[in-house]
Structures are given as C-alpha cells and as structure tokens.
Amino acid sequence: MRQQFLRRAALGACLALAGLSAHANDADGVKIGVLTDMAGVTADATGRGSVEAARLAIEELGGSVLGKPVSLVSGDHQHRPDIGSSMVRKWYDTDGVDVVVDVPNSSVALAVQGIAREKKKLVLFSSPGTTALTQAQCSPYGVQWTYTTYALSRGTATAVVKEGNKRWFILASDYAFGKQLAADTETVVKANGGEVVGTVFHPLNASDFASFLLQAQASKAQIIAVANAGGDTISAIKQAAEFGISSGGQKLAAMLLLLTDVHSLGLQAAQHTYLTVPSYWDMNDGTRAFTKKFEARLGRPPTFLQAGVYSSVRHYLRAVQAAGTTDSDAVMAKMKSMPIDDPFSLNAHIREDGLVVRDMMLAQVKSPDQSKAPWDYYNIVRTIPGDSLAWPLSESQCPLVKK
C-alpha cells in the first residue's frame, strides 16, 4: 500500500514538474528553430539567408506575440538525418522550441517530421521537395510550405509544351530524386500531347556531361529537361552552353533551379532556360521592399526557399496571435483557416494534408542584354494556377484526408 502511495506521489511530482517546465517555456515566450544547411551544397540557397529571413519576419511583427518575446535558434543538420533528428529532439524536449522551419534535404525532413509528430510540435518545411511529406508520411503537425518536385516539374513541363515545344529529351540524375523528376516530367509532357524522345541518367556529382549532352543534341528534341539539383544542375547547364545547345535552336528546361544557381552560372550560360518559381524578389512592391532589407544583411536578394522561410514564420506568428496560445493543435487550426498573407505568396492556402497550394510562375532566364540591374535574371512568362500544381485530394495517400 505504502509503495503504491509512493509511486503515485512520484508520478504526481513528475507530472507537476513537466507542467511547470512547459509553463516556464511558454512564459519565456515563443521560440523558433531554423534547421538549415550552413556549409553544404544548399548553403547559398538556404543557410544564413534562411536564418535572416526568419529574423526579418519576427522583427516585422514587432518581435513579440501575446505580449511575450519571440526568439530564434538555428542549427546545421549537415545533410544527415541523425544530426538533424538529435538537434530537433533537444530543441523540442529541453530548449522550449515551439516550431522548426526550413529543413533543406528530404531525408532529414522526413526524420524531423516523425519527431514533430511524436512530440506534437509544429514543423514548417520551406526547402525539401519530396511529396512524401504531404502524401503517405503526412502529419497533423507538418506543413510543406514552398514547393514540391511534383509542382515544379508539372509547372514547367505543362507550360513549355503549351508554348508549342512538343519534343523533349530528359537528362536526369541517377538516384531517387532525379528519377522521380524524370518520371513526373515524362508523364506531364505526354499528357499534354508531347513526346519524350530520349532519357539519360547521369551519376550524382558528375563532372563531365559531354556524352549525355551529345545524345540530347542528336535527338533533335526542342527541349532538353535538366532533372537534377545543385552542382549537377549548374554543371549540366554550363556545359550545355559550351556545346552551343541554345544557339543551335534547342532550349533548356530546368526542373529545379534557384536564383543562386543562375548567379553561379551567369546569364550567358543560363539564358533562355525555362523554370517554375513559387516567388521572385522582383514580383511586386512588397517583395522589393523585403528584398531591400534582406540585401542589407546578405548582399543579395532571397531565393524562393528563403522567401518561404520568411512567409512561414510570419504566418505562424500571426496564427499564434489569433489563437491566443502556442498550443500546436490550436495554432495549426488557425494556420489552416487563415489566408496566407504576404507579398511572396499568390493565392496560397494550407490544405488538410498540410500542403500549401499556391500560384506559381513560369519564368525564363534573361539574356545578358535583357538584364538591366544586378540580380535582374527572370522574365515572367505566365502565372500558373496553384490547383493545377497539386495532386487532387481524391488521389491523396495522406491519412488526414477525408474521402
């Protein structure tokens, strides 16, 4: 009897301490964790820029919410799921972090989503593109904020085929990401009346694309789709320029291309390349005003991944204010019911599966003589409706979707 009493007393004490700890964390204010890539292959597109984008969102809303200060922590996952998972677990368990944002690298993102689900904490993904985050592995505590590989390949391929470019050749990286991009691209091209006359896969981190580009040239395709990422994209497009592919009448379509990639390539090499972008720094007065503040800290405009971090943090803080609490379930309900209101988001809302559906833009990289100022890199060809870039909920694999 006495042992049972002592067990109950101990359990009660633990629960009381847990409650006091949670209350203390809540009393300390709202804490945001930016999990990003500070030194790896996506550091230019995310990294310190993602941290500053989050900081600018906090400052824009006055640095506090519900009368409490908003603070920021950041960490580098080094593209390793084990490191990212350990960091996020500590943030949630002992550091009082309420929400994690950014998370470039899909494998890290999926690991983090599992922890967030377990801890009933929020995570807002700006940088990973895998559709698993809002399909089979969706979570009531996760939001895929900025893009998916499905949206980018669908946006570019559909729009470019409709421009009259029916014959395609696909150059893709030989691993899961590239194969999925290639498969999505081929499906969309065929669905719109085009044909894929050839596909070739290259190894990850390839240095020589000569044989692949010669096959693409010989195919007489109108469009050569580049379905890879990072350094492989830069190398492929740079060598395509050296082979005179654009000057020979063929055009490139990049399935994933960032502003920093174009800058690394230079307009001479990247010119005329088609791509889909969720946002662009020169979209409107609001994006230009934000870019002015961002440039003062980073020396350049934000990528669409960094703009997504700003947007997600801003919407989260507005939802906390509207909900009157940092409770994850209450805040998520508000985030899904409130319109996403920031200059980088066009007709954007969060679906029940956690996917942000947004209008995007088909862009084409300018030629050097078209560019009138630093970072003036894109011609916007047309707006692409968000509903055409997201899989129908009737086909969703997400358990949260009611059918």
Q: Is 295 inside any structural domain?
A: yes
* pLDDT number for residue 9: 41
Same domain, 83 and 40: yes
Sign of CA dihedral 343, 346, 350, 354: negative
Q: Please name the helix (run of DSSP H) or strand (run of DSSP E) that holds residue 35, with its range, or none.
A: strand 30-36
Q: Is 317 inside any structural domain?
A: yes
Q: Please name the helix (run of DSSP H) or strand (run of DSSP E) that holds residue 169, with its range, or none.
A: strand 167-173
Q: What is the pLDDT along the chain (403 residues), one digit of tens a residue?
A: 344 433 444 434 333 333 333 333 445 799 999 999 999 878 999 999 999 999 999 999 999 999 999 999 999 999 899 999 999 999 999 999 999 999 998 899 999 999 999 999 999 999 998 899 999 999 999 999 999 989 998 999 998 998 899 999 999 988 777 888 898 899 999 999 999 999 999 988 788 999 999 999 999 999 999 998 878 899 999 999 999 998 888 999 999 999 999 999 999 999 999 999 999 999 999 999 999 999 999 999 999 999 999 999 999 999 999 999 999 999 999 999 999 999 999 999 999 999 999 999 999 999 999 999 999 999 999 999 999 999 999 999 999 998 6
* pLDDT number for residue 320: 98
Cα–Cα distance for residue pair 72/389, rounded to 1 Å: 32
Q: Which long-range contacts (CB under 8 A, 24 or more apart) does 15-19 make?
A: none
Q: Is 393 inside any structural domain?
A: no
* pLDDT number for residue 400: 96
CB 314 within 8 A of CB 343: no
Same domain, 212 and 288: no
Same domain, 236 and 137: no
DSSP 225-272: EEE--HHHHHHHHHHHHHTTTTTTT-EEEESS--HHHHHHH-HHHHTT
Q: Is 188 inside any structural domain?
A: yes
CB 124 within 8 A of CB 145: yes
CATH number, domain of 66, equals 3.40.50.2300
Tally Cβ neighbours within 10 Å of residue 163: 16
Task: Look at the chain and report how many structural domains it folds into.
Answer: 2
* pLDDT number for residue 12: 42
Q: Is 396 inside any structural domain?
A: no
Please list, in sequence order, all residues whose beta carbon lies within 8 angstroms of the beta carbon of residue 11, skipping any fewer than 6 positions away: none
CB 357 within 8 A of CB 336: no
Place of tokens 């310190």: 48
Q: Please name the helix (run of DSSP H) or strand (run of DSSP E) that holds residue 33, with its range, or none.
A: strand 30-36
Q: Is 16 inside any structural domain?
A: no
CA 241 from chain center: how many Å?
28
Q: Which long-range contacts (CB under 8 A, 24 or more apart) does 177-180 make?
A: 177/106, 177/129, 177/130, 177/149, 177/228, 177/229, 178/227, 178/228, 178/229, 180/149
Cα–Cα distance for residue pair 195/161, rounded to 1 Å: 10
Same domain, 269 and 210: yes
Cα–Cα distance for residue pair 386/68, rounded to 1 Å: 36
Same domain, 246 and 98: no
Same domain, 128 and 230: no
Same domain, 67 and 191: no
Same domain, 90 and 231: no
* pLDDT number for residue 40: 83
Q: Is 21 inside any structural domain?
A: no
For 48, the 3-state DSSP assignment is helix
Same domain, 129 and 204: no
Name the residue among 209, 218, 223 with its Cα closest to residue 169. 223
Domain that holds residue 141: 30-147+283-350
Report the helix count and the strand count for the chain, using DSSP H and E.
13, 15
Q: Please name the helix (run of DSSP H) or strand (run of DSSP E) that holds residue 93, with its range, or none.
A: helix 81-93
Strands 360-365 and 274-277: antiparallel
* pLDDT number for residue 69: 98
Q: Is 214 inside any structural domain?
A: yes
Tokens of 321: 């204010």
* pLDDT number for residue 163: 86
Same domain, 183 and 289: no
Same domain, 383 and 318: no
Same domain, 260 and 294: no
For 69, which DSSP code? E
